[in-house]
Structure 1
Amino acid sequence: MSVTIVSLTLFAALLHAGWNALLRGGSDRLWSMTVMCIAVSIVCIGIAPFLTAPDKASWMYALLSAVLHVGYNLFLVKSYQSGELGKTYPIARGSSPLLVTLGAALFAGEMPGASAIAGIGLVSFGIISLAFQGRRLAVPGLPWALGTGCFIAAYSVTDGIGVRLSGDPLAYTVWMSALWGLMMPTVYIALRGPRSLFSARPGLLASAGGGVVSLLAYGIVIYAMTHAPMGAVSALRETSVLFAVLIGYFLLGETLTVRKMLACVMIAAGAALIG
């Protein structure tokens, strides 16, 4: 992987940790997530007329990815309702690089080199170890966190294939994100009704800003997938847990233990192997 792709992916990781911390710190996370998605759709609908449409071969993947992103949103909200950022985030993010690597091998015929595989393993193991307490995996809402990781892997592989068929990574990202951003409010209204969604609340602008940040972060990742193996990009992106641990400590009052610091070293070593 080139220095440019590694640097861009690490920047995306920082952005990703930031908007997840914003979501975790909110009082109504489903509402915050839905506002983020509305902001994403508004930005994408505004950009779409200025871009050439992605090739038709990628449309099915964009639609499937949008559906998977909605499932990811719902599972992520549930996992944050029952656990702290420093525990649920590592499980969700740590389980996905290995799954992405497997999915890329099965569906895209993509096999990373030995050093990349070792790096992916180190990153995943280091991330998941953050969620342990002693020898016990102490994560309230563990099934939701693992389910989130499965959705991450599914949409990452889907987008990795789709963007390569699209002919234009930016156009693909905009179309897929517009679909996703429109689907999520529909799901919210079905669950809670329109009045709940469109009522004025504190945190509206912050949530909308978080949506724009999330769009930028994932757009960078999709671009990186056109130039590097999906599993390696996924593992590098999941170094966002390093930033999440620090944000959780400094801003959300979560603990920073020796175990967490050692896990962070392992993750950094894995990222170096990949890069």
Structure 2
Amino acid sequence: MGYINQARIIGFVAAVLLLGAGPVKAALTMQANGTVYDSVQDISWDQDGNAVKTLCDANDPIWQAFDPSAVVNGSGRAKTDICDRDDGRLDWFEAEAWVAHLNAQVYKGITNWRQWTVTQPDPTCSFHSSYTSYGYRCTGSEMGHLFYAAAPDGLENPSMLDFSCPQTCLMNTGQFENFRPSVYWSSTEYANGPALAWSFFASFGYQKDILKGDQGYIWAVRPGQVEPPPGQPEPIPAVGAWGLGLLGLLLMVLARARLR
């Protein structure tokens, strides 16, 4: 094999290897302050899928300063009921007040937390034949997109459409913690009924309007990316199994060229 042919092979293999070395799970990036950046939606999710429970269990000052009894239209439950009996679930009015409280307390150094939002009507949904306000695969909402499109190793599971895996479809894998396979509130009120707001049923992967007085979990997000601390090195792209194979091929070609 001539030198020119060897150089061409080496260059080709190296180029393909570099193409295969793109970041794995490029849409989701763990950030230093305990948030996860979704580059497709340009929002940062709290790493904790149930911060209410986490903070109340720890008797954190943020939880100590929260007063659910002061929430207009709230449930009026005691804080111990929310924390112990109800696993950190809030009604919609309390959920909105909780997110505002996180901003006032500068939770994780952030002051622009909010609940995720829903596009209505959402043309991406596959609607159930009996209910016009509930549907599956709703990637038009921020949580629906995370659930079905952005987190292939942690949240997304298309088999939920046949109800084959309730309570087991969602695992605390990947970057998130304390995720609950249950109902999560959005901030979006239902356009056709002021007593209702949109929610996401993470047990089965569908989106539905429910009464604001019902209980649900809260998962806070903020717009944009949290900048990494100064001097933090850029993450090294993951090569992957087939990339390692190409690397081995490249090394074999180099070794053969050296012997000749």
- Larger relative CO (CA 8 A, sep 6+): 1 or 2? 1
Structure with greater strand percent: 2
Q: Pick the structure with greater CA Rg.
A: 2
TM-score scaled by length of structure 2? 0.26
TM-score scaled by length of structure 1? 0.25
Structure with greater helix percent: 1
